Structure formats: C-alpha cells, structure tokens
Structure 1
Amino acid sequence: MKKIIIPIILIVFIIGSAIIIGRIGTVDASSNALLDENEVASIEHFNICLVPDLSNRLDIEKCPKPIDDSQLVNAIIDEIYPTILKNRVDMNQPDKIFVKFTSPRIINYYNVNNSVLTFDFEKFENQIDRINYLTNRDDKGKFESDKHAFKNAFKILLNNARQRVCGADVWSFFNNEINNTCIRTEVNRIDNKDYILEHKYKNIIVLFTDGYVEAGLYGPNNMTGNKTYHLSSNLIREFRTKYEQSKETDIQTFFNKYGYGLVPLNNPILKDVEVLAVEFYDRSLTPSGNATVHPTDGEILELFWNDWMMMSGVKKFKSCKITSSVDEFMNEFHEFTGIRVR
C-alpha cells in the first residue's frame, strides 16, 4: 500500500510545484527568470474603454476621412485574443474591453444592447472555461460569434447616429462618467513565502472624437476669463485672431500668458486613466490637406487638449490625427498601450 501512496504524493507535489512556477513565470513572457525570494512583481491587466463621440463628426460629407470608426474598433476587437489577453500573461486574465457612452441616456436614445458591446473575461471561473470560450468550444457562448455581434452592433450604432445625431458632452463625461464603475484601481496582492505578486489594471480610454468640444455650453456664461467648457470652431478662430493681434511669436507662450484653456476636470480617478484621443479632425485644412490658416485648428486643438489633460491630472494622454490606414492606427494603439504584438 505504501508503495502506491508515495509515488502519488510525489506526483502531486511535482505537479503543484510546476503550476506555481508556471504561474510566477507568467509575470513577463519576455523573461525566463523566476522571482527571487520576497521580490515584488506586477501583472497589468487591460481595462479598455472604447468611447464613441456620436456628434456631427460622423457626417461623412462634413468630416470625410479614409477610415471609418467601425474599422478602427474592429481592429481592436480582432486583437483581443491572443494579442491583448496574452500580453505578458498566459492564464487567468480578467481583462475587459467594452464600449462606454459619453452619456448613459444614449443607451435608450439608440436602443443599444450594451451587453453585446462588452467582453469581460473575469466572468470565467477558471482558465479551462476561458480557453473553451476563446477557442469556440463552449456551447454556452462562442468568441467568434460574439465578436461578430459586437462589430455588427457597433456599426449599426454609428449608422443610427449619422441619421440622428445626439452630440457629446465630453467635458461632463470625463468629470462625471469616469468613475469606479468603469475604472479599476484595486491591487490584488498574493503573498507567499517565496514571492509577492500584485495584480493591477491598466485603464485605457480610447475616445473617438474630432477634438472640438461642443455640447451646447457656449457663450460667456460658460467661461471663466479665458477658461472654457467648450472648444468650438468659433472659439478657435477667436483664439487665433487674438494670438495674431498680440504679436507674440510663440503660441504656447501666448496661451500661458493670457490664461487660456479648458476648465480643468475635478475627478481624482483620472490619475489612474490613460486617454488616447482618436482622430482629431482639422477643419482649417483643405480637402487635400493643405493649411488655410496658421496656426491651424489642429495645432490649437492639441494645445488646448494637452493642457486640459495635464491640468486635470490624467495619467497619460495622446491625440492622434486622421490616419490613412487601419495599420497606421494600430501602430499608434500598440505604442500607446504598450501591447506587444506576437
């Protein structure tokens, strides 16, 4: 009897050790080194929030661009597995990729099935269930069909928005809607005698916007000096005219000297948020891309947004101009998020 029990115990010990070592080794797929005793290592899981600005920027005649928003979103969805889920982590991924609207009212306005526009991999109780889903072996749900449903729902949403524009209050969105219901700031810590492992979240907002902040908050009543809640074409023109009249030689110096900017957001959770704004549309350019004025709308938009995000305490910010291809956009996305392409 003992001859049978001892090998079984030994096998269980070996398998258990392999699982622990394998788990530690998933901290960074680029490194084969295991953790030293009492060393703290971190795993970052992705919490990616896709936010469409459903304003008149979707009007193809007013804002013609080579690539539709749906194509850009589709490219991100196509990279969920294996690129995003296996980015430095090989198992037990709680990553989430979902659509969030600038206002909750949009869900009813367009009769959106919000559950279709969400991939939440924390819902799986174990890795086997997760793998069965991703490899389309789960009768309860198949990844490929869910991807198709997501893409289709998002395309329908954009088409409906083109027919009936609802606008977007971007200032209020960042100030009020970005909260702990969509941003994950917790750190799950695993303490063992041999290693310490921290599970964190990388919160990324991909905001599809032309950069013009227009939500009905116009006029002097919504300005404090040269600080504003909106950034319309008219305000940009006024800023350009005053800059030219000032005889200043540097636009940043003029901006700072006279206290221009968007009113900073009052939202502490933004310190844990990284914002990628896609794709700023420069209305001052000709259809062929030539500047009609200097500084251009695009230069002024970037000036205001960079200052706004910095003064609001956003962890990281970058704006993207109109891209000519999906590959160009994905290069920007990979660089910003730090996602490694396998």
Structure 2
Amino acid sequence: MKKYILIGLLALLSATKLSAQKQNDITDFNLIFAPDLSNRLNPKLYPKAVSDADIVQGVLGRVWPDILRIKREEGQLDHYSVDFINKGLIGLYKINTDALAIDFQRFERRQSDRIDYIKARNKTGPTLKTDTVAFIAEYKKFNNKAAISNNGADIWTYFQSGIDDRIVLPTVSTGGKLKHKFRNVMVLMTDGYIEAGIYGKGYDLSAAKVTDFRNAFLKSNSDDMHAFLSKNPKFKIKPAKNPFLKDLEVIVMEMYDRSLSKTGAARKHPTDMEIMKLIWTDWMRSSGVKRFELKSTASNKTEAVKYIIDFLKKS
C-alpha cells in the first residue's frame, strides 16, 4: 500500500511541477508580413477591394489593445516586421528596412517603459503610434513602386532558403523563471500563382499549370481532385526542405482567382481557386509548415484584418 501511495505522490508532484513550469511560460508573437511584390499589385491588371498596405495598417492598428492582450497582460516581447521574398528589391526600391520593424523585446523586463511607449507618455522618444506611422509610410512607398513594376516573386526559393533564424525566433528568458516562447506567424500576401524562378520543374504554380491540371482532371472523368493529384504528382509543388518551417505558422492572404469573371462569376470548373488551394495545401503539408490557412481576396479591410486576428487567437 505504501508503495502505491508513494507512486501517487510522485506523480502528483511531477504534474504540479509541470503545471508550474507551464505557468512560467509566456507566448509572444513574432508577426512577419511577407508581400509578393509581383504584378499582382497592379490594380489595372488585378483589381482588389483592399490593398496589402491597408491590411498591414489594419493589423498594426490592432496591436494595442487587442494583440498585446491575447493571453497576456504584461511583459510582452512581440515583434512586428516585414520580410522580402526577393531581397534584391530592397536596394532596387531603396527601402528603409529599419522603419519596417516594431520591437517590444527591447524593453525586456522594463514594463513601465513598455507602457510609456504604448501610451505615448514619453514626449521625447518614439512611441507605438509614431513607429506605426513610419512603418506604414515606408510600406506604402515601396508598395506603390512595386505596383508599377514587373518583378516576380520566387516564393518556392524563399520557403526553401529565405526563411531562417531571422524569421523563426527561439525561446528567450528575461531573467528569473519566466521563459518567452514566440509564435512565429507569417502573413504571406500573394495571389497564389507562383510565377517566378524555374518553370516546369516543380517549383512553380503558374496559370498555365493550373489550366493543365484542370484539363487533365476533366479528361480523367474523376470526381475527386485530391485523389487525382495523388496519382499525378507532376502537378504538385516540390516540398521545401527547411527545418525552420516546423516552427512557422502561415496565413496566406489575398489569393486571387483569375478564372472568375469581373463580376465574380465562375467561368470554369473547377475554378483556379479550388485548384490552387488543393496544391498549396499539399505543398504546405509536405514542407512541414506547422500550421497554415489559405484565404481568398477579402471584400474589405475589416474582413481581411479579422482573418489575421482570428488566426492569432487560435493556438
């Protein structure tokens, strides 16, 4: 009997210790905006209800009090930044990357400084509001340049080698028993067509590839696209082999269906969107991305921002 009591006590102590350890862990957000700066931004070619800049502005406008209070009250170490799929555009567009970052980790354990920054109590230094204004101004500047240019976005190579320890942050300690774990969340803004880099080798998802999939699927008389894709791997995107993806959550925003009419009616079945979501889902899973969601173009800014906030609230 004593033996069983001892085992029970040890199990209880172990569970209590584990519970206390979990209570000492705080989860913060490392939110990265990764825009596809291809011709998808040209409103004459692909008109949308909401721009990428509006989405970024809307999310940053919810940092306080919404995002900073998701399962936390103080000591937040959140990061908000932009990363570029094609790094060459930074120099081409003369982008000030320093303006494209808001970092709460610099306050470490100084909660009073964090509050002063959020509530603009410090009249001489930067505040959350001034940093947000600078962030949006710089974002709009390069976004407007990209909208009138014709550069591609090599998304496959970005997932293969562009996502690294700059993007996926490790657990940190600010002293004492507290440990801060980051949820590394990427807001990938793209139309869903991967039309840069190498074509026809499994690294792209061009409009032509989507069309070829549709034609082959209809010709097969199959009624199951998932099964058809499994039997025809030539239509798949090759998995990215990047160990950092296992700690990355991705919400793909503003996927644009070119197969729809100007009024939004389907002109072909299956639609481009159905095909793209199928192939993207297979790619994200086979690449080992921790968690992901795929979203079509939003009807308005409020809807787009809600997609992202809801994604952050889910764990």
Q: Report if TM-score (shorter chain) is over 0.5.
A: yes
Offset at 1:283?
0.3
What is the match of residue 89 of structure 2?
106
What are the within-5 Å matches in structure 2 for residues 200-211 of structure 1? 200-211=181-192
Q: Mapping of 1:59-98 within 5 angstroms? A: 59-98=42-81
In structure 2, the gaps of 5 or more residues are 1-14
The structure number with the bigger radius of gyration is 1
CA contact (8 A) 1:53 1:207 kept: yes
Kept in 2: contact 1:185–1:272 (CA 8 A): no
Cα distance in structure 1, aligned partners of 2:289 and 2:250: 8
User: Is the 1:83–1:339 contact (alpha carbons within 8 Å) kept by the matching residues of 2?
Assistant: no
For the residues of structure 2 that align with 1:334 and 1:147, how far apart are their CA atoms?
A: 17
RMSD of Structure 2 on Structure 1 (CA): 1.9
Gap change, CA 1:78 and 1:91, over 3 Å in 2:
same
- CA shift at 1:185, angstroms? 2.9
8 Å Cα contact 2:28/2:76 also seen in 1 = yes
Cα distance between partner residues in 2 of 1:296 and 1:313 = 26
2 CA distance for matches of 1:36 and 1:130?
32
Cα distance in structure 1, aligned partners of 2:147 and 2:293: 26
Q: Give the structure 1 partner of residue 255 of structure 2.
A: 280
Alignment of 1:288-299 (within 5 A): 288-299=263-274
C-alpha distance in structure 1 between counterparts of 2:41 and 2:176, whole Å: 50
Residue 330 of structure 1 deviates from its aligned partner by 2.2
**Matching residue's letter, 1:161:** A
Partner Cα separation in structure 1 for residue 275 and residue 30 of structure 2: 30
Q: Corresponding residue for 1:255?
A: 229
Give the whole-Å Cα distance in 2 for the aligned partners of 1:181 and 1:331. Answer: 26
> 1:188 and 1:242, CA in 2 relative to 1: closer, same or farther beyond 3 A?
same
Q: Deviations over 1:154-182 (max 9, x none)?
A: 11111111122322100011111111122
Aligned length: 295
- State the distance in 1 between where 2:18 and 2:137 align: 48
Please give the secondary structure, in 2, of the residue aligned with 1:317. Answer: strand
Paired AA for residue 129 in structure 2: E
Identify the residue that residue 53 of structure 1 maps to in structure 2.
Answer: 36
Q: In structure 2, do the counterparts of structure 1 residues 116 and 189 end up closer, same or farther at CA, with 3 Å as the change threshold?
A: closer
Distance 2:133 2:180 in 1: 30
Query: Which stretches in structure 1 are left out of the alignment for 5+ residues?
Result: 1-34
1:311 is aligned to: 286
Q: Is the 8 A contact 1:84 1:339 kept in 2?
A: no
Per-residue displacement from partner, 1:231-280 (whole Å, max 9, x unpaired)? Answer: 11111111111111112121111111122310000101100000000111
**1:155 corresponds to 2:130:** no
Partner of 1:246: 220
Once residues 190 and 44 of structure 1 are traced to their aligned partners in structure 2, the CA distance between those partners, rounded to angstroms, is 15
Identity of aligned residues (%): 36
CA deviation after TM superposition for structure 1 residue 137, in Å: 2.1
1:137 is aligned to 2:121: yes
The 3-state SS of whatever aligns with 1:167 is: coil
Alignment-mate amino acid for residue 96 of structure 1: H
Give 1:189 deviation, angstroms: 9.2
Q: Does the CA contact (< 8 Å) of 1:94 and 1:122 recur in 2?
A: yes
- 2:129 aligned with 1:169, yes or no? no
Distance 1:78 1:52 in 2: 18
- Structure 1 runs, 4 residues or longer, greater than 3 Å off: 35-38, 187-192
The CA distance in 2 between the partners of 1:216 and 1:191, in whole Å, is: 48
Among 154, 161, 185, the alignment partner of 2:170 is 185
Cα separation, partners in 2 of 1:174 and 1:108, compared to 1, 3 Å: same
The one of 213, 218, 238 equivalent to 2:194 is: 213
Aligned match for 2:245, one of 257, 270, 291: 270
Q: Secondary structure at the match of 2:56?
A: helix
Q: What residue number does 1:18 align with?
A: none
